[in-house]
Structure 1
Amino acid sequence: MEPHRQGGRLHAGRLSRRSEFPDPLIDTPGVAVPRRNVVVIMSDEHDPRIMGCAGHPVAKTPHLDALAARGVRFTNAYTPSPICVPARAAFATGMRVHQTRHWDNAMPYTGDPRGWGHVLQRQRIRVESIGKLHYRAEEDPAGFDKEHIPMHVVGGHGMVWASIRDPYVSTPSAKRMLGDRVGAGESAYTSYDRCVTSRAVEWLQDAAQRRHDPFVLYVGLVAPHFPLIAPEEFFSLYPLEGLPAPKLHPSEGYQRHPWVQAYADFMKNEEQFKSPQERLEAFAAYYGLCSFLDHNVGAIVDAIAQAGLQDDTTVVYTSDHGDNLGARGLWGKSTLYQESVGIPMIVAGPGVKPAVCETPVDLLDLFPTILEGAGIDPAPKMDARPGQSLYALAAASEDPERVVFSEYHAAGSNTAGFMVRKGKWKFHYYVRYRPELFDLEADPEELDDLAGDPAFAHLVQHMEAELRRICNPEAIDALAKSDQHAMIERLGGVDVASKMGAGGATPVPKSALAEAGTAPA
Structure 2
Amino acid sequence: MPLLTNRWRPLLPVALLLLIPGISAAEEEPIVKNVLYVIADDLKASVLGCYGHPLCETPNIDRLAEHGTRFTRAYCQAPVCAPSRPSIMFGRYGRRNIDHAKHKSFPQVLKENGWYSARVSKIYHMRVPGDIVEGTNGGDHAASWTERFNSPGKEESTPGLYQCLNINDIKRDLDDRQGARTKNRAYVAVIDESDGSDQPDAKTAAKAIELLREHKDEPFVLAVGFVRPHYPHVAPEPYFGRYPIEKIRMPKRLADDWDDIPRSGISSSNSQANGLARYPDNQKRMWSAYEASVSFMDDQLGKVLAELDRLGLRDSTAVIFTSDHGYHLGEHDFWQKANLHEEATRVPLIVSIPGLRPGVSDAPVELVDLYPTVMQLVGLDVPKQCHGKSLLPILENHDATTRDYAFSYDGRRKMPTQFAIRGKRWAYMQYPDGEELYDMQRDPEQFTNLAGDASHASVLDQCRSKLAEKKKIMLGQ
Conserved? CA contact 2:427–2:440, under 8 Å: yes
Paired positions, count: 411
* Deviation of 1:79 (Å): 0.2
* Deviation of 1:183 (Å): 5.2
Counterpart-to-counterpart distance in 1, 2:472 and 2:36 = 36
Conserved? CA contact 1:178–1:269, under 8 Å: no
Q: Could you say which residue in structure 2 is the equivalent of 1:128?
A: 118
Distance verdict in 2 for CA 1:266–1:46, change over 3 Å: closer
Matches within 5 A, 1:267-282: 270-271=274-275, 275-282=279-286
State yes or no: 1:317 paired with 2:321.
yes
Distance verdict in 2 for CA 1:270–1:110, change over 3 Å: farther
State yes or no: 1:97 paired with 2:97.
no
Conserved? CA contact 1:269–1:330, under 8 Å: no
Gaps of 5+ in 2: 1-24, 126-136, 153-178
* Deviation of 1:229 (Å): 3.2
In the alignment, residue 46 of structure 1 is paired with which amino acid? L
Counterpart-to-counterpart distance in 2, 1:266 and 1:112 = 40
TM (norm. structure 1) is 0.72
Conserved? CA contact 1:426–1:438, under 8 Å: yes
* Deviation of 1:317 (Å): 0.5
* Deviation of 1:89 (Å): 0.9
Q: Could you say which residue in structure 2 is the equivalent of 1:26?
A: none
In the alignment, residue 404 of structure 1 is paired with which amino acid? A
* Deviation of 1:384 (Å): 4.3
* Selected match of 2:223 from 215, 218, 227: 218
* Selected match of 1:68 from 59, 65, 76: 65
Q: Could you say which residue in structure 2 is the equivalent of 1:343?
A: 347
Q: Could you say which residue in structure 2 is the equivalent of 1:286?
A: 290
- The share of aligned pairs that are identical, in percent, is 28
* Deviation of 1:262 (Å): 5.5
Q: Could you give the per-residue CA deviations for residues 16-67 of structure 1, whole angstroms, max 9, x where no partner exists?
A: xxxxxxxxxxxxx933414511101100111101111111111211111111
In the alignment, residue 220 of structure 2 is paired with which amino acid? F
Conserved? CA contact 2:244–2:288, under 8 Å: yes
* Deviation of 1:352 (Å): 2.1
Distance verdict in 2 for CA 1:200–1:470, change over 3 Å: same
Distance verdict in 2 for CA 1:338–1:263, change over 3 Å: closer
* Selected match of 1:182 from 163, 168, 189: 189
* Selected match of 1:246 from 240, 243, 251: 251
Counterpart-to-counterpart distance in 1, 2:140 and 2:460 = 46
Q: Could you say which residue in structure 1 is the equivalent of 2:74?
A: 77
Counterpart-to-counterpart distance in 2, 1:433 and 1:303 = 51
* Deviation of 1:261 (Å): 6.1
Counterpart-to-counterpart distance in 2, 1:403 and 1:314 = 26
Counterpart-to-counterpart distance in 1, 2:248 and 2:392 = 36
Q: Could you give the per-residue CA deviations for residues 91-133 of structure 1, whole angstroms, max 9, x where no partner exists?
A: 11001116626xxxxxxx9676312122112211111111102
Q: Could you give the per-residue CA deviations for residues 195-248 of structure 1, whole angstroms, max 9, x where no partner exists?
A: 11111111112233xx2x111100001111111333211111112111121232
Counterpart-to-counterpart distance in 1, 2:436 and 2:220 = 44
* Deviation of 1:141 (Å): 3.5
CA RMSD of aligned residues (A): 3.1
In the alignment, residue 117 of structure 1 is paired with which amino acid? P
Counterpart-to-counterpart distance in 1, 2:280 and 2:388 = 43
Counterpart-to-counterpart distance in 1, 2:182 and 2:245 = 28
* Deviation of 1:362 (Å): 1.5
* Deviation of 1:142 (Å): 3.5
Q: Secondary structure at the match of 2:223?
A: strand
Distance verdict in 2 for CA 1:362–1:472, change over 3 Å: closer
Counterpart-to-counterpart distance in 2, 1:235 and 1:172 = 23
Q: Could you say which residue in structure 2 is the equivalent of 1:435?
A: 435
Counterpart-to-counterpart distance in 2, 1:239 and 1:72 = 32
Distance verdict in 2 for CA 1:241–1:371, change over 3 Å: same
TM (norm. structure 2) is 0.79
In the alignment, residue 246 of structure 1 is paired with which amino acid? P
Distance verdict in 2 for CA 1:301–1:446, change over 3 Å: same
Counterpart-to-counterpart distance in 2, 1:333 and 1:38 = 29
In the alignment, residue 238 of structure 1 is paired with which amino acid? Y
Counterpart-to-counterpart distance in 2, 1:266 and 1:241 = 23
* Selected match of 2:51 from 37, 54, 60: 54
Q: Could you say which residue in structure 2 is the equivalent of 1:499?
A: none
Distance verdict in 2 for CA 1:278–1:184, change over 3 Å: farther
In the alignment, residue 175 of structure 1 is paired with which amino acid? K
Q: Could you give the per-residue CA deviations for residues 75-95 of structure 1, whole angstroms, max 9, x where no partner exists?
A: 000001000011001011001
Conserved? CA contact 2:265–2:340, under 8 Å: no
Q: Could you give the per-residue CA deviations for residues 166-187 of structure 1, whole angstroms, max 9, x where no partner exists?
A: xxxxx995431314x4353369
Q: Secondary structure at the match of 1:436?
A: strand
Q: Could you say which residue in structure 2 is the equivalent of 1:482?
A: none
Moved more, 49-58 or 183-192: 183-192
* Deviation of 1:302 (Å): 0.4
Counterpart-to-counterpart distance in 1, 2:104 and 2:415 = 30
Q: Secondary structure at the match of 2:287?
A: helix
* Selected match of 1:405 from 404, 407, 428: 407
